A and B are shown apart, each in its own frame.
Chain A
Amino acid sequence: MAPRPRGAAGPVDERELLSAGDVARTIARMAHQVIEKTALGSPGAPAIVLLGIPRRGAPLARRLAARIAEFSGHRVPVGVLDITLYRDDLRRRPTRPLESTRLPDGGIDEALVVLVDDVLFSGRTVRAALDALRDHGRPRAIQLAVLVDRGHRELPIRADYVGKNVPTARSEQIAVLLDEVDGRDGVLLRRRSGEEVASP
Chain B
Amino acid sequence: MKHLLSAENLDRDTATALLDTADHLKRTLLGREVRKLPTLRGRTVLTVFYENSTRTRVSFEVAGKWMSADVVNVSATGSSVGKGESLRDTALTLSAAGADCVILRHPASGAAHRLATWLDGTPTAVVNAGDGTHEHPTQALLDAATLRERLGSLAGRRVAIVGDVLHSRVARSNVRLLATLGAEVTLVAPPTLLPAGVERWPVAGISHDLDAELPGLDAVMLLRVQAERMHGGFFPSAREYSIAYGMNETRLRRLPEHAVVLHPGPMLRGMEISSSVADSPRSAITEQVRNGVHVRMAVLYHLLAGEEHAE
Contacts and interface: CB of A to CB of B under 8 A. Distances in A.
Interface of A: 82, 85-86, 90-102, 131, 134-137
B302 interface: yes
A82 B307 contact: no
Given A135-B37, A136-B32, A99 B24 contact: yes
B33 A137 contact: yes
B306 A95 contact: yes
Nearest to A101: B28
A85 B306 contact: no
Contacts, number: 59
B28 A93 contact: no
B117 interface: no
Given A102-B27, A135-B34, A95 B301 contact: yes
A100 B294 CA distance: 13
B249 interface: no
Contacts of A134: 34
Contacts of B23: 100
Interface residues of B, number: 23
Contact of A97 (B21, B32, B67): B21
B305 A95 contact: yes
Contacts of A94: 306-307
Nearest to B301: A95
Given A91-B308, A94-B307, A97-B21, A82 B28 contact: yes
Nearest to A92: B307
Given A85-B67, A137-B33, 18 more contacts: A85-B28, A85-B38, A85-B39, A86-B39, A91-B305, A92-B307, A93-B307, A94-B306, A96-B306, A97-B20, A98-B21, A99-B24, A100-B28, A101-B27, A131-B38, A134-B34, A135-B36, A136-B34
Contacts of A137: 33
Contacts of B28: 82, 85, 98, 100-101
B19 to A, nearest CB: 12
A163 B17 CA distance: 35
B306 A93 contact: yes
Contacts of B67: 85
Contacts of A82: 24, 28
Interface of B: 1, 17, 20-21, 23-25, 27-28, 32-34, 36-39, 67, 301-302, 305-308
Contacts of A99: 24
Nearest to A91: B307
Given A85-B38, A95-B302, A100 B308 contact: no
Contacts of A136: 32-34
8 contacts: A85-B39, A91-B307, A94-B307, A96-B306, A98-B25, A100-B23, A135-B34, A136-B34
A55 B206 CA distance: 46
Q: Most chain-A Cβ atoms within 10 A of its Cβ — which of B21, B33, B305?
A: B305
Given A94-B307, A98-B24, A135 B32 contact: yes
Given A82-B24, A95-B301, A101-B27, A90 B306 contact: yes
Contacts of B27: 100-102
Q: Most chain-B Cβ atoms within 10 A of its Cβ — which of A82, A93, A95, A98?
A: A98
A136 B305 CA distance: 22
A92 B21 CA distance: 19
A131 B101 CA distance: 26
Contacts of B21: 97-98
A100 B21 CA distance: 9
A94 B24 CA distance: 18
Nearest to A105: B31
Contacts of B17: 97
B306 A91 contact: yes
Contacts of A91: 305-308
Nearest to B1: A95
A82 B302 CA distance: 17
Nearest to A94: B306
A166 B305 CA distance: 33
B93 to A, nearest CB: 25
A97 B301 CA distance: 10
A95 B21 CA distance: 11
B264 to A, nearest CB: 26
Contacts of B306: 90-91, 93-96
A102 B39 CA distance: 19
A86 B20 contact: no
B307 A85 contact: no
